[in-house]
Each structure stands twice: as C-alpha cells, then as structure tokens.
Amino acid sequence: MPFPVTDIVYGCLAPALVAGAVVWALHRKSLGAAGSRFGASAALAAGFFLGYRLLSLSPWMPEAHWQWLPYAVLLAAVVGPIVTAPRGSWPVRIGSCAIVAIAAAWFLVPAWEKLEPSRLVYLIGWVVYVTSLTALLSPLTSRFPGPLLPVVLAATLLAGGMVLFLADILRFAWIGVAGAGAMAGIATVAAFDKRTDAIAGVTLPFAVLLAGALLVGRLNSFSDVPWVSYLLVPLAPLLLWVGTRGRLSTLTGARRAVVCAVLPGLPLAIALLLAALGTRPITIS
C-alpha cells in the first residue's frame, strides 16, 4: 500500500488542521488588513511545511537541489502577500514575483552537466512560468471569494501529486498531497469567511510549491509521463477566467459552482490521462 494511514494523517490531515487554524487565527478582525493579507499565505506555508517535516521527506539542511523546495515556499509565503498589496504597482508586483522565482529556481534547478536543455533554459523558463502564473492567478482571488478558488487550488495541488505518483516518485507526490491538505484547510475556513481578500497573497507560494514540485519531479523521473502533463496542471485554475466572461459570468448558485469546477477540471483530467497513458507499456501484437 503506497499510502499508509499514518502518512495520510501526517501528510494531509495535519496540514489541513494547521492551515485551517492559522488562517482562522490571522483573519480575526483585531489583526486588521495585515492579518487578512498574510493569513492564507502563512497557512499554506505552515501546513505544507508541517506535513513535509512530519513525513521526513528530506533532511533539515538541504543536500540535493530538490530539498530546497520547502524553503522556497516559505520565502514565497513571506513575499507573496507583499506583492499582492492593493497599492502596489504592476511592475513592482511582477518584479517582486520574478525575484522570488529567480531565487527559488537558482536552488531548485540542478547543475548537472547532462541536463538537457541547459540549466539556463530551465532557469529562464521556470521563472517566466511561475511569474506569469502568479500574475494571472492573483486577480482571481478577489473575483472568487469564498471556498471555490481554494478548493480549485487544492484539487490542482492534488492532481500535481497524482502526476508525480504516476511518474514513480512517491516522495514528490507527497509534496503535492501535503500542499493540497493545507489548501483544503484554508478552503474550509474560507467557506465561513466571505471577504474578498480572504486568500489574497496565496498565489505566489501556491505557484512556487506546485511548479517547483513538478519541476524537480520531471528532472528526476525515469517514467514516460509527458512534459505536457507537468506543464498543464498548474495552469488549470486559470480557466476560471472563462467563468468571469459572457453568459457564464451571470450564472449563480449551483450552476455557477458546477461550471467553475468543470472548467479547471478539464485540463487536470487531460493531464492525468496523458500521464497515465504515458506510463503504460505499449505492446503491439
């Protein structure tokens, strides 16, 4: 059994409980706007880091490139809410995201001689990917108050974990699961917190966590899971933009919820299907 009960408790339930508690505590009115802005970001980082440590996924002191990921997420969790401050200009926001992404990429992309394409290509590509993802996701946090967006982000993290599972790296699959657990805890609290800024600031740590796990997973996998599966998963929540346009934007209640679940669910399903097909030996008789 690849997922023992104790691992599920440590790697999913504990992150959910801690993330829920953190976001609930920081969203109290007495902490004002700062608490609101840092609440979800701190909750995701705390929940994920707890799960990562409880599962002992790597030593405290990184010895390999991928072991820097939890620290990259912590950095993103600190900077994320600052980047998404309402008064910040777009160049400053994008620039701050890019700086965090560059710092994370510098440690996450290995310096292997055999790396193809080159390390520079990976560095540039990943920084552009994470920065763009964060920039496009951030406005959605105010357009989708309540639990919908964090539920979608949790499902996306879980799908990332499943892709890494199919890529035959369980250690990295747990990274996605721990992140999904933490985001599920945030979603639970968000269900009772209708503020439009309830999860503001969470997009940068979300992007670094998921895109980082998929990057190191792709680099260390010997499976035939295709590139597109790794690239497609983090982009899935962006399809929520479709729900803000035309007739779809006028939907309410259950219809709106269904549409908003199906939109990001489609690319996730495609990514998982391609990953599953890629890992199945093809025999021609």
The distance of closest approach from Cβ of residue 171 to another protein in the complex, given in angstroms and rounded to an integer, is: 5
Residue 132 engages another protein in binding (rule: CB under 8 A): no
Contact between 90 and another protein per CB under 8 A: no
State yes or no: residue 169 binds another protein (CB under 8 A): yes
Give the number of residues in contact with another protein, rule: CB under 8 A: 26
Of 33, 64, 262, 266, the one binding another protein (CB under 8 A) is 64
Of the candidate residues 35, 88, 95, 110, the single one contacting another protein (CB under 8 A): 110
What Rg, from alpha-carbon coordinates, does the chain have? 18
Quote the CA–CA distance of 49 and 179 in Å, as a whole number.
9
By CB under 8 A, tell whether 7 contacts another protein: yes
Q: Confirm or reject binding of residue 60 to another protein (CB under 8 A).
A: no
For residue 43, count other CB atoms closer than 10 A to its CB.
Answer: 32
| Residues 212-231 close enough to bind another protein by CB under 8 A | 219-223
- Given the complex with another protein, which of 95 and 110 has the nearer CB atom? 110
Least distance to another protein, CB of residue 280, Å:
9
SS3 category, 89: coil
* Token pair belonging to 128: 């552009």
Identify the CA nearest to 210 among candidates 264, 146, 147, 259: 264
Residue 187 or 272 having the CB closest to another protein = 272
Smallest separation (angstroms) from another protein to the CB of 63: 8
Q: Which is nearer to another protein, 126 or 165 (CB)?
A: 165
Annotate 245-266 with DSSP letters as a single string: SGGGGG--HHHHHHHHHHHHHH
118 part of the interface to another protein, by CB under 8 A: no
Q: What is the per-residue DSSP string for 16-48? A: HHHHHHHHHHHTSGGGHHHHHHHHHHHHHHHHH
Least Å from the CB of residue 134 to another protein: 27
Least CB distance from residue 175 to another protein, whole Å?
Answer: 11
- Residues of 103-116 as b/e, b for ≥16 C-beta within 10 angstroms? bbbebbbbeeeeee
Residues 68-91 as b or e (16 or more Cβ within 10 Å = b): bbbebbbbbbbbbbbbbeeeeeee
Residues that bind another protein (CB under 8 A): 1-2, 4, 6-7, 56, 63-66, 110, 112, 165-166, 168-172, 219-223, 279, 281
